[in-house]
Chains A and B, each alone.
Chain A
Amino acid sequence: MRNRSRHGWRRVVNGINLAVLVVCLFIALPLYWMVASAFKTPANVGASPPQYFPHPLSVQNFTVAFSQNTFGHYIINSVIVAVVATALVLVLGTLAGYALGRLPMRGKFTVLVVLLMISVFPAIAVVVPLYALLRDIGWLNSYQALIIPYTAFYLPFAIWILRNYFLAIPREMEESARIDGASPLRTIWSVILPQAWPGLFTAGIFTFTACWTEFLMALSFNVSNDYRTIPVGVALFGSQFTVPYGTLFAASVVAVVPIAILVLIFRRSVVSGLTAGAVKG
């Protein structure tokens, strides 16, 4: 463990700690508000003045979300699309990020900038031609209708992130692996990846979240109820003149659970990445 006695640091850190406590409150309070409102009875969600604590506690919002609005079905679709797209992004992105970071390719900066330009283009302008393209291939209303575009649109960011973290790894380790006769893939697997866990985690979480919350393409390509994802499913809650906040919040409480689980699982990997970083020279 680290054994430091840094009075200066500690004082500064305590001041920062206080500020961050404020920040944590800022983050936690609206979350509390959402969770609490999810457990109010549907009638009390719109009560004025608002109920600060749900009384009586009720799970009616949850039952409405799952039964009337078949929310469970949308969760499954979202999970499938997000997991597969994230896996694809991480695999392809690691290979490309390593290549574009470490290997002497001519014109790689151009490639990187073009990738940037692609990820920057507003999705709305792209949706209609992409729709026509998918229709011609016959891929509308399917999982691949979302997985492939998501992978393509989120790869550039992942490549940039991964490349950035790969660059920070000392060259000597790779070179010693190469001298030992390791193939490039093996080098990536046993030398680069263990060092770059934080970068992989960042890229993975970003991609998963982006797929999880993407709305416009999901709305346009997967119109059939069998393949709808959560954001589109949520857009069906209520009717023309009512916004069912209770049902929405109940759905959201359930939808954040996979993310929280993912983070808690990967937390150990990030921690091991940190201690590995502490040991290396």
Chain B
Amino acid sequence: MGVTAVLTAAACSSSPSSSASGTASAPAASGSATSGNITWWASPITTTSPDPRTVLISAFEKVYPNIQVHLQSAPTDTDTNRASLITTISGGASSPDVYMGDVIWPAQFGHSGLATPLSSYFPSSYWSSFAPGLVQGATYKGQVYGAPFFEDQGFLYYRKDLLAKEHMAVPATWQQLETDAATLVHKGLVKYGYVWQGGSYEGLTCNFMEYLGSAGGTALNANDTKATLDSAAGTQAANFMHSLITSGATPSAVTTFQEAQSMSAFATGQAAFLRNWDYGWSYSQTASSPSSVVGKVGVTPLPSFSGQPSPGTSNIGGWNLYINPHSKNTAADVTFIKWMTSPAAQTILGTQFSEIPTVQSVRNSAAVKAQNPVLAIVGQTRLIPRPAQTPQYAKVSQAIYTNINSMLSGSTSPSGALSAASSQIDSALSSSGL
């Protein structure tokens, strides 16, 4: 990516003019600051003690004793979180200095000047230390806006005991999974066959992208100017999602499921298969979650469609670290981010808290892989991002999840849903509709 720095020293200016491109700044803040006071805005990562955020801060302050990090806890709902940040930053506040944000924000925030471009602060060797696809997802118009902090991916969780009972192998194709799930339901062994996130919200876009990617399709064209999901691949994906419900493999209640509901259904033993993020492992193996399936769960990369490459594609989720353009401590911010994405911090995240590290070397290390079965198979997944490279992503995603949800609840046909989504995406990308 171009390292032609076009960043004005926004942190130093106090005039209310918008930060425009112009003078190239000397990247003096390349992680060399050793003192300062910074505020870190981050939502809770886990619900159990100890809090990973405080653990990381203490470890950081041991290495840099003269930098004080003040944690500000952000709302757990990502939309509320974003609204609060938008209000704060566009109101010109200099605090928080660093904030933890969703992986789908870079285009939107970069476009509106709500995050500092980071490319000039780090050498290119830094960016190549991350797992493939992550930095690209944080790039908008050639500038990287977020440093990948930790990642989420989709996995298939299954009930080992039920499969063993019916002498079923772990399904390697979607069609096989559908058959297996329907069989288990019809035999009365389980209430739900296969549960996932089908509610009318962002999570459905993640699920849909996984089926679309497995079928070999894309959502947008290369320039992000036109929708491409009304294609053969898109049709295969949509038809399959629809058939999951009509065949009885998936309950119709899935149209209201978000992560919490689908996880709970699986962990209380009511479902045989679950598609969920990596946290599903520790959740299902902790009896107090509540979970009654401790010791009965297996995890594998998502299946694919027969005739398509295997395994199926897994959607990229997770969180990046961004810098507030009004921050007065950019040098210290960069130091903080650099440490949080260093092998030391990433190893803590991986080994102590079972989060997927973003740094490739840490991800492949034996210590992290031995942590739990999910981390062990992270290297085997094929990844697909959401089409978040455009600042209009929120509308694109809404077009996808509202129409697919409508299809799942039976109000629209798969082809109708795809063409409606396509036209809504096109109008969102071209003009500014409401």
Contact = CB atoms under 8 A, between A and B. Distances in A.
When A and B assemble into the complex, do they touch directly, with CB atoms less than 8 Å apart? yes
B290 A243 contact: no
B28 interface: no
Interface size class of B (residues with CB under 8 A): 35 or more
A123 B87 CA distance: 13
Interface size on A, as a range, is 20 to 34
Contacts of A12: none
Contacts of A223: 72, 84, 88, 95
A236 B287 CA distance: 24
A13 B258 CA distance: 47
A243 B257 CA distance: 13
A219 B84 contact: yes
Nearest to A224: B72
A128 B90 CA distance: 8
Contacts of A47: 268, 290
Given A239-B47, A241-B277, A46 B90 contact: no
Given A135-B91, A224-B72, A239 B44 contact: yes
A239 B49 CA distance: 12
A240 B43 contact: yes
B367 interface: no
A85 B290 CA distance: 42
Nearest to B51: A68
Interface string B259-293: 11001100010100000010100000001111000
Contact of A220 (B43, B49, B88, B258): B88
A250 B259 CA distance: 23
B72 A238 contact: no
A80 interface: no
Given A128-B87, A241-B279, A235 B80 contact: yes
Contacts of A128: 87, 90-91
Contacts of B88: 131, 220, 223
Given A46-B268, A128-B87, A225-B72, A135 B46 contact: no
B93 interface: yes
Contacts of B76: 235-240
B292 to A, nearest CB: 10
A173 interface: no
B36 interface: no
A170 B237 CA distance: 74
CB-CB nearest 9 A-B residue pairs: A43-B290, A241-B259, A235-B75, A131-B91, A239-B44, A220-B87, A132-B91, A239-B47, A238-B76
7 contacts: A46-B268, A140-B93, A225-B72, A235-B76, A241-B279, A242-B263, A244-B47
